[in-house]
């Protein structure tokens, strides 16, 4: 579609409508699924900020401040004032908003990748099971994906126009990526490698002399080169300056915590250690298997691979060629690193969706010029309907019917529904015992997500196994700690609750006298 006022008038209503559809899909039952451990940790951080504390960046156990920086005002707008009165829906709305913005960005991508492929990719993001699932997950990935897409679009615009404002947007997006996750280094490396291959393959050939005055031609070329270099330096300077300013603001929590920058320096060795696996080791083909799963995964993956292969074989100097290189590089990097979690696949969904859209557009163009056009259009409509049914089935099954099921590949080490009854059981037992403000002692090496589910109680303490534990009305222990504190708990009776697949905790309540 041409970039004219009329085309923009048609384009943006279409993408706004798709974004609203995506929003409508993401909002229902937003608080129904149990909070994953990572969500609970992020919720606790937001609760600290609501309580007046500054964000403290810890590169070893937590990611950057971007998620909290956006979740904090959204939670305040919805009326949250502390960790105790936060809700799942209030927090997950942050990821819903980030995912909806990513869908809207396809409207801007139409100038770079074309209207039809961007429209199809936006629909896949709006309805696809993977983006819908993690856009309802209070982790950094949806925001990171939106920032990555923003960097791709603004970086391309800055490269074409060499305008400072586009470069500033690119710098801000890069800083936002880093403030989301340290793995921004991987995505940035893949982008740089793709740009290098693209430039090497499409280096301009020096123009032959046309017989005019060589001195005058050389002078004009030199002037054009100098102007281009000046504008490039200005754009690069604007991008770097914006990146540094936004990075410093976020990691120092807007000047309130200068130690955040020191943590950023220490993040590099921590990222390298984490890349080794740390219990999350998966085989090379993990992401391919994940993306190809379900009823709709294999067809979408095949369409995307076809689009990438056709683009690379054509070798034309287009944004598609760069995106193909980037898609291959980022998939290879993520696959080669032993550390793998399913939400990281959202970074691969972006090029996958666009290339699936490109393949569908190519098929439609071929249909339009075929002698059997009517029959092929009928077949296309049938295939489109089948694809919509397959995608809807996967989204319904994985997002709404079985969001925390052990067999759901997106529900990685997920909190079970059983834990939802823990706080209610404590409250009920406390009422029976006449305890108005129960004291709860939690003893476990890994307490998460228990702080989230016990947040409504005012007297909750957490101890590591082996520590001296204060007196309490109720104890919550890991199975190992329960045996270790057997003498202390001899007048209490246990009740088991599932936390994650294969992980149990025991609620110890006073035994009947």
Instruction: Please identify which residue in the block is written with the tokens 């960005």.
Output: 105
CA distance 386 to 363: 16
The span from the CA of 308 to the CA of 356, in Å, is 9
What's the pLDDT at 377?
74
Cα 430 from Cα 189, distance rounded (Å)? 55
Between CA 315 and CA 202 the distance in angstroms is 9
Model confidence pLDDT, tens digit, residues 357-370: 999 988 877 776 66
Q: What is the pLDDT of residues 235-276, one digit of tens each?
A: 889 999 999 999 999 999 998 888 878 777 777 666 666 666
pLDDT digits (tens, 9 = 90+) for 272-299: 666 665 667 899 999 999 999 999 999 9
Distance CA 129, CA 121 (A): 13
pLDDT of residue 56: 87
Report how far residue 47's alpha carbon sits from residue 53's, in angstroms, rounded to the nearest whole number.
9
Query: DSSP label at 506?
Result: E
Q: What is the pLDDT of residues 111-156, one digit of tens each?
A: 999 999 999 999 999 999 999 999 999 999 999 999 999 999 999 9
Mean pLDDT of the chain: 89
Tell me the CA end-to-end span of the chain in Å, nearest whole number: 79
- Asked if residue 98 lies in contact with residue 143, where contact means CB atoms within 8 angstroms, the answer is yes
Phi, psi at 442, each rounded to 5°: -110, 125
Specify which residues 442 forms β-bridges with: 462, 476
Give 506's strand partners. 477, 496
User: What long-range pairs does 359-366 form, CB within 8 A, spacing at least 24?
Assistant: 359/303, 359/304, 359/306, 359/307, 359/310, 360/116, 360/117, 360/120, 360/303, 361/114, 361/116, 361/117, 361/120, 362/307, 362/310, 364/116
Report the C-alpha gap between 496 and 176 in whole angstroms.
42
The answer to whether residues 118 and 10 touch, using CB atoms and an 8 Å cutoff, is no
Q: How confident is the model at residue 204 (pLDDT cuts 50, 70, 90)?
A: low
Residue 277: what pLDDT?
A: 59
Q: Averaged over 469-475, what is the pLDDT?
A: 94
Which long-range contacts link 117-120 to residues 24+ away (Cβ below 8 Å)? 117/354, 117/357, 117/358, 117/360, 117/361, 118/15, 118/354, 118/357, 119/14, 119/15, 119/18, 119/357, 120/353, 120/356, 120/357, 120/360, 120/361
Can you tell me the distance from the alpha carbon of 205 to that of 333, in angstroms, rounded to the nearest whole number? 32
Q: What angle do CA 415, 407, 143 make, to 5 degrees?
A: 60
Stretch 211-238: mean pLDDT, rounded?
69
Rounded percentage of the chain residues whose pLDDT exceeds 90: 69
How much is the pLDDT for 382? 85
Per residue in 99-114, pLDDT (tens digit) is: 999 999 999 999 999 9
- The rounded distance, in Å, linking the Cα atoms of 69 and 176 is 11
Answer whether residue 232 shows pLDDT above 50. Answer: yes
Going by pLDDT thresholds of 50, 70 and 90, the confidence category of residue 2 is: very low
């Amino acid at each position: 579609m041409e970039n004219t006022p009329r085309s923009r008038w048609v384009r943006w209503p279409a993408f706004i409508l798709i974004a609203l559809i995506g929003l409508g899909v993401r909002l229902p039952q937003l608080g129904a699924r149990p909070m994953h451990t990572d969500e609970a940790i992020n919720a606790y951080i937001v609760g600290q900020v609501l309580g007046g504390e500054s964000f403290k960046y810890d590169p070893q156990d937590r990611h950057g401040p971007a998620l909290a920086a956006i979740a904090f005002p959204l939670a305040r707008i919805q009326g949250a004032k502390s960790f105790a009165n936060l809700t799942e829906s209030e927090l997950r709305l942050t990821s819903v908003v980030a995912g909806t913005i990513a869908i809207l960005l396809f409207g801007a991508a139409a100038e770079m990748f074309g209207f039809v492929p961007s429209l199809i990719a936006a629909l896949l993001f709006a309805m696809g099971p993977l983006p819908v699932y993690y856009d309802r997950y209070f982790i950094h990935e949806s925001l990171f994906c939106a920032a990555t897409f923003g960097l791709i679009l603004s970086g391309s615009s800055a490269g074409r126009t060499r305008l400072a404002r586009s470069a500033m947007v690119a710098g801000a997006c890069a800083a936002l990526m880093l403030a989301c996750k340290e793995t921004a280094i991987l995505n940035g490396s893949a982008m740089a490698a793709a740009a290098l291959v693209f430039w090497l393959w499409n280096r301009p050939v020096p123009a032959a002399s046309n017989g005019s005055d060589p001195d005058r031609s050389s002078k004009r070329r030199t002037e054009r080169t100098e102007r281009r270099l000046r504008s490039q330096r200005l754009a690069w300077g604007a991008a770097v300056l914006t990146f540094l300013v936004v990075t410093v603001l976020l990691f120092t929590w807007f000047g309130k915590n200068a130690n955040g920058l020191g943590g950023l320096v220490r993040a590099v060795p921590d990222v390298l250690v984490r890349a080794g696996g740390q219990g999350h080791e998966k085989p090379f083909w993990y992401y391919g298997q994940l993306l190809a799963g379900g009823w709709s995964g294999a067809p979408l993956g095949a369409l995307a691979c076809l689009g990438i292969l056709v683009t690379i074989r054509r070798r034309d100097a287009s944004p598609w060629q760069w995106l193909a290189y980037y898609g291959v590089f980022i998939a290879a990097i993520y696959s080669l690193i032993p550390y793998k979690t399913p939400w990281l696949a959202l970074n691969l969904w972006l090029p996958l969706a666009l290339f699936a859209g490109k393949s569908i557009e190519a098929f439609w163009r071929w249909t339009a010029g075929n002698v059997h056009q009517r029959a092929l259009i009928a077949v296309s409509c049938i295939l489109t309907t089948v694809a919509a049914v397959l995608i809807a089935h996967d989204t319904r099954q994985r997002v709404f019917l079985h969001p925390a099921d052990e067999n759901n590949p997106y529900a990685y080490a997920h909190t079970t529904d059983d834990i939802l009854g823990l706080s209610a059981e404590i409250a009920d037992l406390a009422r029976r015992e006449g305890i108005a403000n129960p004291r709860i002692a939690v003893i476990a090496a890994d307490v998460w997500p228990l702080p989230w589910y016990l947040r409504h109680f005012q007297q909750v303490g957490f101890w590591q196994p082996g520590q001296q534990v204060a007196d309490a009305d109720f104890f919550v222990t890991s199975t190992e700690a329960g045996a270790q504190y057997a003498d202390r708990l001899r007048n209490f009776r246990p009740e088991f609750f599932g936390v994650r697949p294969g992980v149990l905790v025991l609620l110890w309540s006073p035994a009947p006298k």
